[in-house]
Amino acid sequence: MNAILPTVPRRAPAALLALRLLVLALLPAALLAPRPAAAVQAVVVARGLDQPWALAFLPDGRMLVTERPGRIRPVAEDGTVGAPLRGVPPVDATGQCGLLDLVTDPAHATNRLLYWTYAEAGEGGNTVAVARGRLEGDALVDVQVIFRQQPRVASRLHCGSRLAFARDGRLHVGLGDRFGRRADAQDPANHLGKTVRIESDGRVPADNPFLGRAGARPELWSLGHRNIQGMAVHPVTGDLWHSEHGPQGGDEINLIERGRNYGWPLVTVGREYVLGTRIGEEGPRAGYEQPLKVWLPTSIAPSGMAFVTGNRYPGWQGSLLVGALRGQALHRLSIEGRRVTGEERLLVDLGARIRDVRQGPDGWIYLLTDGSGAQLLRLLP
């Protein structure tokens, strides 16, 4: 039997959250059991990856995998892992930071451009930077940094980060609050705990919502985020969705809209580590957007995510797949419009932290597990 869990679509009042927990406690164990392992199968494509973080697909059938210590490795169609690409700039790989997300340019077949996020060391700490380079054989050339998160912070935590090209060709970057600077997520004068929107060369689009606003960074698209770990564009509406780590509970799925405030740390159902005390109001609160999905009372640590658009997985078209690090599972969320209507936990018997989830051009779903000796997996129905 599939594990279908009740969904809290918004930051609900405390009484409603308590009711949800009571309902879960009273449900028969059979209804909460994970989906049988035989329902889907993860087959190994490549082994021996070192702290992989992101996956991208090339027109020639190869894949590229980022490794957090500072490498981008090609993976052949037969699973052979190649030597790291030359030309990657120095990476400050410490704690949760390092070489992180990677995407291809929408016109990669003709311009061969790649974009990636990484922690860049400098005076006063490190920053999350976005670099762009052209793939030539086994090297990146014409590499340039097109964006740097400001200010630099002496932190090993909450670097984020994810990239996504919207339908209009603009590049969205999801950034963390750097952990010790959570109040800055509400301050438009910096990039901490924000999403930003830039042109593919780093310029600021003329229609950005904070452009021209006194005391605000012109790159900002949204604010009030904690630690963005997944980002995907809805295949039908073009809306930008993302996953975000809460502290102790309060992980979120959000639909990111122009100029909106997503609450952290003023509005959140997440609790302080260890003590379990409240951080902010549980909401809803006027002027702050509500998440489409929250995980309570325990965090699953959502990571990479992808919408299913193909027909290789019967009944899954339109679903949102979200990897879980702490939860060690793949979560399939049923979507109706802007609502999350159901949840299914998959691959629980794998016992692996799932770092990234992507749908390949062949229609198959690919996963990256986390840590040393990690694997690239293909999901079969």
- Give catalytic residue positions: 158
Sheet holding 71-75, edge to edge: 52-57, 63-67, 71-75
The radius of gyration of the chain's CA atoms, rounded to the nearest angstrom, is 20
DSSP string, 70-137: TEEEEE-TT--B-PPPBTPPP----TT-SEEEEEE-TTHHHH-EEEEEEEEEETTEEEEEEEEEEEET
CB neighbourhood size of 88 (10 A): 19
**Cα 80 to chain center, whole Å?**
26
Question: Could you tell me the two tokens for 255?
Answer: 């639909």
Residue type, 115: Y
DSSP string, 353-377: -EEEEEE-TTS-EEEEE-STTEEEE
Burial of residue 236 (number of CB atoms within 10 Å: 0-12, 13-18, 19+): exposed
Handedness of CA 148, 151, 156, 157 (dihedral sign): negative
- Alpha-carbon distance of 66 to 56, in angstroms, equals 9
**Cα 86 to chain center, whole Å?**
26
The 3-state DSSP class for residue 56 equals strand
- C-beta of residue 259 within 8 angstroms of C-beta of residue 222: yes
Question: Could you tell me the two tokens for 188?
Answer: 């438009």
